[in-house]
Amino acid sequence: MERELSLNYSRCISANPKAAFIRCVSVSAAPLSHMFVTFVSAQQGEVESGTRRKVKRLLSFQRYCHASRLLRGLVPHTPGSLHLLDDDYLGQAAHMLSKVGTWNFDIFLFDRLTNGNSLVTLMCHLFNVCGLIHHFQLDMVKLHRFLGMVQEDYHSQNPYHNAVHAADVTQAMYCYLKEPKLAEQLSPLDVFLGLMAAAAHDVDHPGVNQPFLIKTRHHLASLYQNTSVLESHHWRSTVGMLRESGLLSHLPADISQDMEQQLGSLILATDISRQNEFLLTFREHLDNQDLDLQLASHRHFMLQIALKCADICNPCRVWELSRQWSERVCEEFYRQGDLERKFDLEISPLCNQQADSVPAIQIGFISYIVEPLFEEWHRFTEPSLLSQTMMGHLHKNKARWSCLRCAHTPSDVQAHSHADEPNPKGGGGEGENIP
C-alpha cells in the first residue's frame, strides 16, 4: 500500500483507509443554507425564469433544446447525426466490430470511425450478434430511435461521463458476458438487461458528483432524497426514453415493467457508496461456494457485479487507453473543483488541481476500489484468460502511476497530461468522483 496519499486522502483517511477513500468520493458535507446552483446555468452563466427552470427539470439537461422534435418521435438532424445502420458497418469500423470481443478494443478510434456514433453503432451490432433483436421481436426503427436518445442524452462536453464512456463500459460488459463461467448460464433476458444497463448507466450525467448536487441543493438531490441521486436519475431517464420510443410497447405490461425494475437494480448498483456492500456479498458467495447461476436472483447479482467491474475497468486496460481515461476523469474532477472555487464552495476531495495529481488519484482509486473488486472477479472466473490479462494490466498500470508520482511534481504531471490531451474541451470517462 502506498505510504503517501494526496492531501485530500490524508484528510479523509482514518482507521479504515478503504472506507475512508469511498467516503472521500461519495459523501458530502451538510448542504449550504439558502443556496441553489444549477450546474448547467452556472456553466453557461444564464439566469432562468422560474417557469423555464421547471420545464427543464422535467426533461434532461441535454435534451431540453430538442424537446419538441423528440416528443414528435424525430431525432434532430445535425452534421454527423445518426445515419442508416448499413453505413455503420463499412470500412474500418466494420473491421473493428469483428473484434469487438477482444480486450484491447480501442473505443476512442471506434468513436472517430463512426463519426461520434460509437454507442448506437456498438449496441445495434451487439443486439444483432447476440440474437436479441430476433428473440424480443424488436422494431429496428424504435431501437434506433431509443439508442439515439440515449446517446444524445450523454453530455459530449464532459471529459469522462459521456457517450464514449458508455460505449466503453458496454464493450467491457459484452466481454464479461462472454466469460465461460457466465455465458453458459445466461438467458437472452440477462444479456439484454446487461447490455442495456451498461449503455444507459450514466445517461444525462451532469459532470459533477452527488455531493456537489447535495450541497448546492440541486432539485435532483431533493427529488431522490440525497440517496443514489445520479444513479436514480440515470435509471428514471432510461425508463422515460424506453416508454417514449415505444421499444418495449409490444410486450405485455407486466413483463416490460419487470424489465424496467431490473434495469434500475443494475444501474443503482453502480453507486460507488455501495462498493463495500457488493464486495462483501460477492466475497461471501465465493468463500461459501454457494453461487447457483441457475437461480435468476444469483444471475442478476452477477450482472450487478459485472456492470460494476465494467464501470471501473479503465485501469485494467492497456496503458495507452487506461492513461487517456485517467486523465479525462481527473479533468472532470478539476472542472468541478474550479466551479466550486468560483462559487466559493469548499473544494471536494480529488477536485483540487493544485493538490491532487493524476498519479496520486489513480493510485488511490486502484488500491481501494479497483483491486479489491477485480481480485474477487479473478476468483470467480477461476481465473479466465481475460481475467489474467486484466490483472496483468492493472498491476503494470499501478506501477507506472507510482513511477510518475515519484518522478514528477503535481504541476509537472498536469502539464504532461494536458500536453497529451488532443482536445481539452472535447468529450472522451465514474463515480461520485470515480469512473
Cβ neighbours of 4 (radius 10 Å) = 10
- Which residues touch 5 (CB under 8 Å, ≥6 apart)? 13, 360, 363, 364
Residues 205, 154 contacting (CB under 8 angstroms): yes
Determine whether the annotation assigns residue 161 to a binding site.
yes
Q: Compute the distance between CA of residue 390 and CA of residue 321 in angstroms, rounded to an integer.
A: 13
Give residue 184's identity as a one-letter amino acid code: E
Residue 200 known to bind ligand: no
Between CA 399 and CA 109 the distance in angstroms is 26
Whether 161 sits among the annotated catalytic residues: the reply is: yes
Let me know the angle formed at the C-alpha of 374 by 164 and 420, rounded to the nearest 5 degrees: 40
- Cell numbers at residue 398, please? 499501478
412 annotated as belonging to a binding site for a ligand = no
Task: Compute φ and ψ for 202, nearest 5 degrees.
Answer: -125, 20
221 is in an annotated binding site: no
304 is in an annotated binding site: no
Residues 251-282 as b or e (16 or more Cβ within 10 Å = b): eeeeebeebbebbbbbbbbbbbbbbeebbeeb
Residue 124 to residues 63, 88, 116, 193, 390: CA-CA distances in angstroms? 22, 10, 15, 14, 26
- CA nearest 415: which of 353, 336, 360, 338? 353
- Pairwise CA distance, residues 279 & 369, whole Å: 10
Task: Name the residue with cell 457466465.
Answer: 182
State phi, psi for 101 to the nearest 5 degrees: -90, 10
Residue 163 annotated in ligand binding: yes
Residue 356 in contact with residue 6, Cβ under 8 Å? yes
Compute the distance between CA of residue 192 and CA of residue 78 in angstroms, rounded to an integer: 29
CB 112 within 8 A of CB 100: no
Is position 162 annotated in a ligand binding site? yes
Which one of the listed residues 161, 205, 233, 393 is annotated catalytic? 161
Q: What angle do CA 233, 85, 164 make, to 5 degrees?
A: 40
Is residue 202 marked as binding? yes
Q: Is 234 annotated as a binding-site member? A: no
State the Cα–Cα distance between residues 239 and 263, nearest whole angstrom: 9
Binding site as annotated, residues for Zn(2+): 165, 201-202, 311
Binding site as annotated, residues for AMP: 161-165, 202, 311, 362
Just list the catalytic residues: 161
Binding site as annotated, residues: 161-165, 201-202, 311, 362
